[in-house]
Amino acid sequence: MQTHEIINRFTEHFRAAGHTVVPSASLILDDPNLLFVNAGMVQFKPYFLGDAPAPYPRATSIQKCLRTGDIDEVGKTTRHLTFFQMAGNFSFGDYFKEGAIRHAWSLVTGPQDQGGYGFEPERIWATVYETDDDAARLWHEVAGLPWERIQRRGVEDNSWDMGVPGPSGPCSEIFYDRGPEYGAEGGPIVDENRYTEIWNLVFMENQRGESTGPNKGDYPVLGPLPQQNIDTGMGVERIACLLQGVENVYETDLLRSVIDKAEEVSGRRYGDDHDDDVRFRVIADHARSGVMLVGDGVTPGNEGRGYVLRRLLRRIVRSARLLGVHEPVLGEFAKVVRDAMSPSYPELVTEFDRIDSVLRNEEEAFLATLSTGSKIFDTAAAETRKAGGTQLPGSKAFQLHDTYGFPIDLTLEMAAEQGLSVDEQGFRELMSEQRRRAKEDAKARKTAHGDLSTYRSLLDSHGTTEFIGYTDLQSTSRVLGLLVDGAPVPVAGQGSEVELVLDRTPFYAEGGGQIADTGKLVGEGVELQVTDVQRAVPGLFVHTATVLGGEVGLDTELEAAVDVDRRSAIARSHSATHLVHAAVRSAYGKRAAQAGSLNSPGRMRFDFTAPSGVSSSVLGGVEEEVNEYLQNDVEVQAYNTSMDRAMELGAIALFGEKYGDQVRVVDMGDYSRELCGGTHVGSIAQLGVVKLVSSSSVGSGVQRVEALVGMDAMRRISKEHMLVNQLAEQFKAPAEELPERVESMVTRLRNAEKELQQLRVSQVLQSAGELAGRAADVSGVSLVAEQVPDGVDGNSLRALASEIRGRFGSRPSVVAVFSSDPETSKVSFVVAVSRDAQDRGFAAGKLVPAFASHVGGRGGGKADMAQGGGSDPSGITAAIGALRKEVEQVVSRG
């Protein structure tokens, strides 16, 4: 049974059982505790936590998941995966243990010709929490499992929580007996290789508190949850392994196809060599993970999600290289992943050009890194041999890995080729220390879900806030909640900073790149200034305000009024963002996916994925296309429709956003159609003009453009026009001739600077004879150590030192000249040593450390010439004295 059929059967089974089919959330949901979605229940957490009412009593999904804790173990075993799919069914206060067990059993053991998976009932085992008599009884009564195939386990195995205060409860796991050839008899408590876990049912019934110790169960149970919930998960890849009759997940249809391609490009065969098998598995897993991550909007980078993606992709390239493949491979593997996964994820086809572009650019950059790393390795290897060693230090291997992204396996391979070993123990210790620091940092950042109980209570008692701000900018509203410093209060007086929850509001809460509205709340004898609006929990608008006068209390009736001018300016910016997005996609194609935005009064910022910087010609083309379209005065329409209908209409959805069945579409003719919850103008002509003012790179493969809109754009254009007129007047030339005139002037200035520099050098060199004449004799060595006039640069100092040294002919000489720059308070110095002085033990590079600290600097060079700089001109005299002493000591040692 192919994997997509396994997925379809799961979905249809629970659809028939009254579950709402919910699409997989993006891998990059906005969750402060998660880098990536790592479990099927993540997108349903607000319902389990009580932050929002569930829109359906029961649901089912096939969730994309990614876990990064065992990246280094992937490939070494056949169990570890980074990307996997979790099939789940969920109940929000609806059915509980009996329903969960009944639904799972009927699908697992149902005949294949009736839509089930067809597992033999006599090979199924179940585990329950050690005190969960109900679950044990239900497995016996509902599923008919004999008591000896129902085993009890402790808190480490059969209890569940999110690792932070919140829901928790016992769980029950379903295991399949693969047979005596896989291990000992006795059920999962004896051998989990033979007895393979295929399903986990979580019975969410308790509220847990803060951890009190290092172990999983070290926390107090605060009491029962308001309602009992079900969260179950079935590993799709693990089920596929069993139903396809293969030994492990890497031989299932979706992963084996990538291994087949790796065999094709490398000429090697999976199963012939253990080390090669590890590399094949790394390629298969990471290629799928990489494609799915890029598909969900992640781009390679040096931090966070981008770093994980970069690491995965580089491990693929590294593994291919160790298989003997030195040509680019990511694009070929991506095509295989696309073809294998697209039946369940059709967006991989529509977004493939963008995905392919990101992968190819990252591979090209990494191949350049490998080239650089190889040179650094060669230097390190040469230093090791020169010192008489045969082992590359662990610190050098770690530097190659950490600083240059150079994989340790390649370091080991290249060292072996040169007859060297690597201090792997030292490398592992440094890696472990780095991981320890990373874990401590992550633990410090990871927090429990904030105390939102007050907001949840308001949501439970009063329902969601009615937002009327799409059509009205004023309303009569009533205060339902009043907080100061996060605590509920009955009343607040003048000068208080408060949070208010209103029954209805015209104020837009920050979201979707659009900043929040501001404005006034006015009631009888009271006035407040609204400075921010946020959604503390889904559906509840919380207004941050200052009480300007009087007192505000619960049930106070207020007239809410949005700052109209500010809202209009923000709406213009948001509408301009949609148009710029459309123009950017026109220039770059679908690969230019939105990666972020900010809409503030009169100014917009738009980030998008693109392989390289935005050229001035493209920037100009985008600006021209947007402003040309503004002339059409197209009406902006916003309407709600189903997600499926929106996709049929070609609406663009943003990566990482979670959408429900009903979505809001914003149309600006056929030119722009996006899913958007923000506020917009009524007609695009209201934008006036859009002026792109800058472009920059904000990460690997992510570009940013910024623009001014409306009057802000007009003011910028007017200012630039005035500046052009002033320049034209200064140059006595028409505006269109200014570029040539400016270029001509710049050329003349550069030529003049070169002539001036040559004159300075000539003047400095003229002093060479005088300085040589002041040389001190130190036991037969002529020493010149002088401070020359300010402002002499390093090149001129080198020429001067060389000229002075030449004046001594064959006499041993040491020359040091210093100059300071009064504008920067920097010091430059050069030391020159003649051949005869070198024969007496002098080396310019070794003299520098003797005096450089006096000028707060450093430097270096070869035996004949060295130079450097410092930050303390007041120490030049002391530096000259220190140099004299060092010269005397070298002479005495000689």
- Mean pLDDT taken over the chain: 89
CATH for 155? 3.30.930.10
CA–CA dist 154, 751 (Å, integer): 82
Least trusted range by pLDDT, from 31-40, 87-96, 565-574 = 31-40
For range 519-526, the mean pLDDT: 96
Total tally of structural domains belonging to the chain: 6
Whether 448 shows a pLDDT value over 70: the answer reads no
- 613-627 pLDDT tens trace: 778 888 899 999 999
The dihedral region occupied by 550, where left means phi > 0, alpha psi between -120 and 50, and beta the remainder, is left
Which among 542, 562, 582 is the end of a domain? 562
274 is in an annotated binding site: no
Q: Please answer whether residues 260 and 250 qualify as being in contact, where contact means their C-beta atoms are separated by less than 8 angstroms.
A: no
Is residue 573 in some structural domain? yes
**Backbone phi, then psi, for 700, in 5-degree steps?**
-65, 115
- DSSP letters along 540-589, please? EEEEEEEEEES-EETT-EEEEEE-HHHHHHHHHHHHHHHHHHHHHHHHH-
CA–CA dist 252, 229 (Å, integer): 33
CA–CA dist 195, 184 (Å, integer): 9
- 270-326 pLDDT tens trace: 999 898 999 999 999 999 999 999 998 888 887 788 888 988 998 899 899 889 998
Q: Please answer whether residues 706 and 605 qualify as being in contact, where contact means their C-beta atoms are separated by less than 8 angstroms.
A: yes
Measure CA 719 to chain center.
Answer: 38
Least trusted range by pLDDT, from 62-76, 120-134, 228-242, 843-857 = 62-76
For range 696-704, the mean pLDDT: 78
Residues 812 and 888 both lie in one domain:
yes
CATH for 662? 3.30.980.10
Residues 306 and 420 both lie in one domain:
yes
Residues 197 and 330 both lie in one domain:
no
Residues 281 and 207 both lie in one domain:
no
- 62-83 pLDDT tens trace: 999 999 877 878 888 887 899 9
Helix H or strand E segment including 240: helix 236-243
DSSP state of 40: T
Is residue 383 in some structural domain? yes
The domain in which residue 683 lies consists of 567-718
Residues 210 and 156 both lie in one domain:
yes
Strand partners, 357: none
Residues 74 and 160 both lie in one domain:
yes
Whether 804 shows a pLDDT value over 70: the answer reads yes
CA–CA dist 709, 692 (Å, integer): 9
Res 451: pLDDT: 53
Q: Please answer whether residues 204 and 231 qualify as being in contact, where contact means their C-beta atoms are separated by less than 8 angstroms.
A: yes
Confidence of residue 42 (pLDDT cuts 50, 70, 90): confident
HEC per residue, 241-303: HHHCCCCCHHHCHHHHHHHHHHHHHHCCCCCCCHHHHHHHHHHHHHHHHHHHHHHCCCCCCCC
Counting Cβ atoms within 10 Å, is residue 551 exposed (0-12), middle (13-18) or buried (19+)? middle
Residues 677 and 740 both lie in one domain:
no
Strand partners, 207: 167, 223
CA-closest candidate to residue 59, choices 11, 97, 104: 11
Is residue 414 in some structural domain? yes
Confidence of residue 657 (pLDDT cuts 50, 70, 90): low
| Coil/strand/helix, residue 229 | strand
Q: Hey, what are 626's tokens? A: 């947007």
Type of residue numbered 326 = H
CA-closest candidate to residue 235, choices 15, 5, 6, 22: 6
The bridge status of strand 150-153 relative to strand 124-129 is: parallel
Counting Cβ atoms within 10 Å, is residue 843 exposed (0-12), middle (13-18) or buried (19+)? middle
Residues 166 and 272 both lie in one domain:
no
Confidence of residue 611 (pLDDT cuts 50, 70, 90): low
Residues 350 and 438 both lie in one domain:
yes
**Backbone phi, then psi, for 73, in 5-degree steps?**
-90, -15
Is residue 225 in some structural domain? yes
CA-closest candidate to residue 325, choices 414, 264, 259: 264
CATH for 497? 2.40.30.130
Res 449: pLDDT: 41
Is residue 724 in some structural domain? no
Whether 491 shows a pLDDT value over 90: the answer reads yes
Which residues lie closer than 8 Å to 133 by C-beta, 6 or more apart? Answer: none
Neighbours of 855 (CB within 10 A): 28
CA-closest candidate to residue 499, choices 448, 547, 563, 566: 547
676 is in an annotated binding site: yes
CA-closest candidate to residue 168, choices 203, 141, 128, 200: 203
Strand partners, 683: 635
**Backbone phi, then psi, for 18, in 5-degree steps?**
85, 15
DSSP state of 614: P
CATH for 880? 3.10.310.40
| Coil/strand/helix, residue 799 | helix
680 is in an annotated binding site: yes
Res 231: pLDDT: 94
Is residue 726 in some structural domain? no
CA-to-CA dists, residue 322 to 265, 286, 373, 406, 422, angstroms: 12, 15, 16, 13, 17
Q: Percent of the chain, pLDDT > 70?
A: 95
Neighbours of 624 (CB within 10 A): 12
CA-closest candidate to residue 345, choices 698, 712, 7: 7
Measure CA 195 to chain center.
Answer: 38
Q: Terminal CA-to-CA distance of the chain, rounded, Å? A: 86
Which among 444, 478, 513 is the end of a domain? 444
Confidence of residue 450 (pLDDT cuts 50, 70, 90): very low
- 321-379 pLDDT tens trace: 889 998 999 999 999 999 999 999 998 998 898 899 889 888 988 887 777 777 888 88
- 540-555 pLDDT tens trace: 999 999 999 999 999 9
Q: Hey, what are 660's tokens? A: 């429900």
Residues 761 and 774 both lie in one domain:
no
CA-closest candidate to residue 340, choices 438, 435, 416, 240: 240
Residues 345 and 424 both lie in one domain:
yes
Is residue 723 in some structural domain? no
Q: Please answer whether residues 533 and 510 qualify as being in contact, where contact means their C-beta atoms are separated by less than 8 angstroms.
A: yes
pTM above 0.75, yes or no: no
Which among 562, 592, 607 is the end of a domain? 562
286 is in an annotated binding site: no
- Residues belonging to the chain: 894
Neighbours of 186 (CB within 10 A): 12
**Cα Rg for the chain, rounded, in angstroms?**
35
CA–CA dist 345, 330 (Å, integer): 19
Neighbours of 236 (CB within 10 A): 24
Residues 210 and 334 both lie in one domain:
no
Is residue 522 in some structural domain? yes
